[in-house]
Amino acid sequence: MKISFTLNGKPVSCDLPSNRRVVDVLREDLGLMGTKEACGTGECGACTILVDGIPRLSCLMLAAQLEGRDVTTIEGLSKSGETLHPIQQAFVEAGAVQCGFCTPGMVLATTHLLSENPRPTREEIREALSGNICRCTGYQKIVDAVELAAEKLTEKGETA
Ligand code: FES
Ligand code: FES
């Protein structure tokens, strides 16, 4: 099946089995290894990508569902000329990254949260990231990182 979509701002067309999982399309067919697979069953959030700006679990999506969509992976988050997006920078500064396996999904879920709610409370942050599991940090630093990201973006007058 021929599938066309936008990936990190660029048009992509691929000939793929329609039932191929999106996480496999991204990692194996397109070489974008930033999207992680952990549970593979929709429970951990490691494989989160943004589809039309909304967090989706790429281990549960099929290639056919990408047709005509606008997909953002962690590789496409920072603007050109920027080493890290301010949300990624905040995760680094807050010490919210240990093994890093959950981080792309956390950062993309945070991107969606801050696009809808630029100054969330800690409770709102916990709620928004409740589908993303981290086995390392204990979550406090991740919530700190999201607060810091919100501050950074507000200071720059930017939205996520
Ligand atoms: S790998 Fe997709 S939700 Fe865990
Ligand atoms: S930093 Fe290791 S799973 Fe979150």
Domains, in order of start, for the chain: 2-75 (3.10.20.30), 86-156 (1.10.150.120)
Does 148 score more than 90 pLDDT? yes
Average pLDDT over residues 6-25: 96
Q: Mean pLDDT throughout 14-31? A: 96
Of residues 18 and 22, which shows the higher confidence score? Answer: 22
Q: Say whether pLDDT at 6 is over 90.
A: yes
Task: Compute, in angstroms, the gap from residue 113 CA to the centroid of ligand 1.
Answer: 19
Q: Which residues contact 92 (CB under 8 A, 6 or more apart)?
A: 84
**Is the pLDDT confidence value at 137 over 90?**
no
Atom of ligand 1 nearest to the CA of 58: 2
The residues near 28 (Cβ < 8 Å, ≥ 6 apart) are none
Ligand 1 center to 154 CA (angstroms): 31
User: In this predicted structure, what is the pLDDT of residue 80?
Assistant: 79
d(CA 144, CA 95): 9
**Helix segments in 4-121, DSSP class H:** 22-24, 86-93, 103-116
Q: What is the band of 1 on the pLDDT scale with cuts at 50, 70, 90?
A: very high
Pocket of ligand 2 (CB under 6 A): 97-103, 134-137
Using CA atoms, how far apart are residues 2 and 124, in angstroms rounded to an integer? 40
Q: Please state, rounded to an integer, the average pLDDT across all residues of the chain.
A: 96
